[in-house]
Structure 1
Amino acid sequence: MRFLLSTIGSRGEAQPVTALAVRLKELGNEVEVVAPPDFEGLVTGNGLVFTPVGPNLRDAKAVKPTPDELRKLAEESVREQFRVVTKAAEQADVLVAGGALQHATRSVAESIGAHYVYASFCANTLPSPHHAPPAMLGSVPMNGTPEENLAQWERQRHYFTSSRDALNAERAKLGLAPIDDVRDHIFGDAPWLAADPVLGSWPGPGDLVQTGAWLLDDQRPLGPELEAFLDDGEPPVYVGLGSMRGVANTAADVIGAARELGKRVVLQRGWAGLELADDGGDCIAVGEVNQQALFRRTAAIVHHGGAGTTTTAAAAARPQVVLPHMYDQYYWGSQVERLNIGRSATTATADVLAEALGLTEQAAEVATQVRTDGALVAAERLMAL
């Protein structure tokens, strides 16, 4: 079978899509991944065919767009997605849209008679009366009654409808009828949830396919300098914000809190460009790293609350401190709190970090329940379509 997997998101979406692609290829299928140019190395490094879509996300300016700018960006994204996905999807049997704002994938699948699956990596990015929608453009919805939650979901529809005219113009080029509800069109009739059922189960209504998180099996070595640092003392505190821009004082705050508790620090620079406050021997800065291997050798993990990092930290049996910035990260912070495997906060103070460090036993217990076969489960289900 031939599969096309598409995403326009950050590493939190590109990495699970790549994990699924790896499993599909291992099962003997032809697989191509469409993702932003930032992730070419991630995809091709796993032996997969890669096609870029859109601009480099890392180069994007961290400036809140005006409504008119947002509309224009959405229209440009729709046109670019249709151009790339239409060409890449020739003779594909199944098209999978991984993550938010996948405007072209379902239409292209419809135009070539292929199966279509939309996959979310977090329950609260799919509408439900049992949770508020994700944070968008600085607005952080709060959980309320079922009626209040649904009202919040309705207020977020405009994030999708702004691109409706551009979407329908591209559908017309493919000989397809216009659609009215962009959000429901993208999600499809039966969306999948690629999240761990212990960390983030679907609350309903109705059933959907929950495969478990799509995790890459990372075999990269940690490197001699990091290995030497880890061997030279007690397990350190890890801090990293992934592809988030971050807050200026994050590194200094976490290092200060860790030092108050007598803990060393591994700082991942990430897209925020986090830097060490000084050249003290109790801290080390690293670039891209095998988190699966590193997290198992830490005392606690301070991070932004992305789905993949939260799951990897939980599977490593280490307590977490989530510092949410946007989108689904507030949800993952609340789930960490609910399971009592860490804390969610605006700043990692010494008190917050100490509370998290006291939850090591709970984190170890939950780790035994975290599934690591989600990508394989999804691959086998896709092949059965």
Structure 2
Amino acid sequence: MLALEAVLRACGEEMQVCAPPDFVELLEGIDIPLVPLGQSSHAMASAAVTGTTEDRPTKNLSVCVARMVAATYDLLAAAADGCDVVVTTGLIPAAAAARAVAEKLGVPYVFVAPSPTYLPSPHHPPLAWPGCPHPPEVTDNRVLWELNGEHLNALFGEGVNTHRAAIGLPPVDDIRDHVLTGRPWLVSDATLSPWLRPADLDVVQTGAWIRPDDRPLPADLDAFLKAGTPPVYVGFGSMPVRDVQGTARAAVEAIRAQGRRVVIGRGWPDPAVTDGQGDCFAVGEANLQALFTRVAAVVHHGDAGTTTAAALAGVPQVVVPQMADQPYWASRVVDLGIGAAHDGPGLTYESLWVALRTALNPGTRARADAVAVTIRTDGTTVAGKLLRDTVGRGRPLVAG
């Protein structure tokens, strides 16, 4: 969304950004006001990864969903007042609230998917919800998507329609199709993540939304990179990881065993895991687009943004998927021959050593270089033109 904001601002447009409170500091750093929306995304991801259930309502679910949709709606309605279009991504209740706002304002609504796995297709299964795995006996993707629609209706249908009735909107029969619309946008690169036809949706694939980042690397990191051979970067962003310190130590040891130095993304492990040795550097917030061009491989959790950044840099990857669409991105890295997919979220010295052997193979690097030149970087330009052509000009846009 921030990549889209940069393109629209360059065209003289305004964009109001609504997102979880985790992102307040990030947006303050680039002078963009944020309307905090809902609870912490990190907390929700932690609950999903660790399997905790304290925050998952099990009684009066429809009441909880209705309250969640209503709270989101109230915030979005205030932020979107005077806007020409509502662009949204994220969880079903929040997206349903965003669409209700667009309906009440009488403006277009666009749903944005970061990967194909969010969109029904016979070519892939739906994402498995925490605590609700796919039935092992069902292998037909169309059937799995039918079950997914039924599951989402059971979870959210009554709550969403209760709120819609309260604000004078008609009920919807299919929550998923209502949120996605018949023409969602897929904001991933066509090489990394193609939308395969035939499918039931008229998907608009804009290309990946890549936020421009021209920040120089910190001086101490730059000095470390210049002082030896290219290291291996390992980082999981804000993604919760089981056994954080054990995972970090195993990663450092496996990378060292390959004869490589280490850059470790600070934030998920304790910096002490670098154990003070000169071949290991801990870095905080930094320009990963620039950093990835100077490393031998990238070990990460496999979200859409990190996978795309590493692919664009032409650097081999090891994806250690934790949840959601991350297994999909891991499979794409393998299919394209630009890295390795770790088997499951639990990383050990032995398992990472094996994956790194594939990633650090010269043939993998050559393939990563070849794929890098095919990745387009104009996704937000395409999206910005589509929005401007759709709604005209004169009033600010809203993204949530």
Could you state the TM-score of these two structures normalised by the residue count of structure 1?
Answer: 0.89
What's the RMSD between the two structures over aligned residues?
Answer: 2.3
Change (3 A) 1:312 1:258: same
Change (3 A) 1:56 1:202: same
Instruction: Report the equivalent of 2:220.
Output: 225
Instruction: Report the equivalent of 1:166.
Output: 159
Q: Which has the higher contact order (CA 8 A, sep 6+)?
A: 2
2:254 pairs with 1:257? yes
CA distance in 2, matches of 1:271, 1:69: 33
CA distance in 2, matches of 1:233, 1:107: 55
1:55-81 Cα deviation digits (max 9, x unpaired) = 233355534325617947644432221
1:233 maps to a residue whose letter is G
Instruction: Report the equivalent of 2:394.
Output: none
Q: Work out which of the residue numbers 99, 104, 109 in structure 2 matches 1:116.
A: 109
Instruction: Report the equivalent of 1:82.
Output: 73
Change (3 A) 1:76 1:353: farther
Following TM superposition, by how much is the alpha carbon of 1:132 offset from its aligned partner in structure 2, in angstroms? 1.0
Following TM superposition, by how much is the alpha carbon of 1:30 offset from its aligned partner in structure 2, in angstroms? 1.6
Change (3 A) 1:142 1:307: farther
2:359 pairs with 1:356? yes
- Superposed counterparts of 1:21-60, under 5 Å: 21-59=5-43
Instruction: Report the equivalent of 1:214.
Output: 209
1:155 maps to a residue whose letter is L
Q: Please, which moves more after superposition, 28-37 or 65-74? A: 65-74
CA distance in 2, matches of 1:228, 1:105: 46
Following TM superposition, by how much is the alpha carbon of 1:240 offset from its aligned partner in structure 2, in angstroms? 0.6
2:280 pairs with 1:283? yes
SS for the counterpart of 2:222 is: helix
Following TM superposition, by how much is the alpha carbon of 1:159 offset from its aligned partner in structure 2, in angstroms? 3.7
Change (3 A) 1:143 1:36: same
Instruction: Report the equivalent of 1:182.
Output: 175
Instruction: Report the equivalent of 1:64.
Output: 52
Structure 2: runs of 5+ lacking an equivalent = 391-400
2:297 pairs with 1:300? yes
Asked if the contact 2:127/2:324 (under 8 Å) is kept, the reply is: yes
Asked if the contact 1:143/1:149 (under 8 Å) is kept, the reply is: no
Asked if the contact 1:241/1:272 (under 8 Å) is kept, the reply is: no
SS for the counterpart of 1:294 is: helix
Following TM superposition, by how much is the alpha carbon of 1:207 offset from its aligned partner in structure 2, in angstroms? 4.0
SS for the counterpart of 1:247 is: coil
Q: Work out which of the residue numbers 138, 145, 161 in structure 2 matches 1:153.
A: 145
Asked if the contact 2:255/2:353 (under 8 Å) is kept, the reply is: yes
SS for the counterpart of 1:318 is: coil
CA distance in 2, matches of 1:41, 1:70: 35
Change (3 A) 1:43 1:277: closer
1:262 maps to a residue whose letter is G
Instruction: Report the equivalent of 2:241.
Output: 246
CA distance in 1, matches of 2:286, 2:14: 28
Structure 1: runs of 5+ lacking an equivalent = 1-16
Could you state the TM-score of these two structures normalised by the residue count of structure 2?
Answer: 0.86
Asked if the contact 1:161/1:181 (under 8 Å) is kept, the reply is: no
Change (3 A) 1:312 1:42: same
**Hey, which of these two has a bigger chunk of helix by percent?**
2
CA distance in 2, matches of 1:197, 1:376: 15
SS for the counterpart of 1:234 is: coil
Asked if the contact 1:237/1:298 (under 8 Å) is kept, the reply is: yes
CA distance in 1, matches of 2:268, 2:156: 28
Q: Work out which of the residue numbers 356, 370, 374 in structure 2 matches 1:369.
A: 374
> Sequence identity, in percent?
42
Asked if the contact 1:31/1:48 (under 8 Å) is kept, the reply is: no
CA distance in 2, matches of 1:265, 1:97: 37
CA distance in 1, matches of 2:284, 2:134: 33
Following TM superposition, by how much is the alpha carbon of 1:371 offset from its aligned partner in structure 2, in angstroms? 1.0
1:102-140 Cα deviation digits (max 9, x unpaired) = 121111101111011101000111011110112321666
Following TM superposition, by how much is the alpha carbon of 1:174 offset from its aligned partner in structure 2, in angstroms? 2.6
2:370 pairs with 1:378? no
Instruction: Report the equivalent of 2:122.
Output: 129
CA distance in 1, matches of 2:312, 2:236: 18
1:292-346 Cα deviation digits (max 9, x unpaired) = 0111110000000000000000000000000001110000000000000001013
Change (3 A) 1:288 1:135: farther
Asked if the contact 2:311/2:368 (under 8 Å) is kept, the reply is: yes
1:216 maps to a residue whose letter is R
Asked if the contact 1:131/1:144 (under 8 Å) is kept, the reply is: no
CA distance in 1, matches of 2:302, 2:35: 28
SS for the counterpart of 1:308 is: helix
Instruction: Report the equivalent of 1:237.
Output: 232
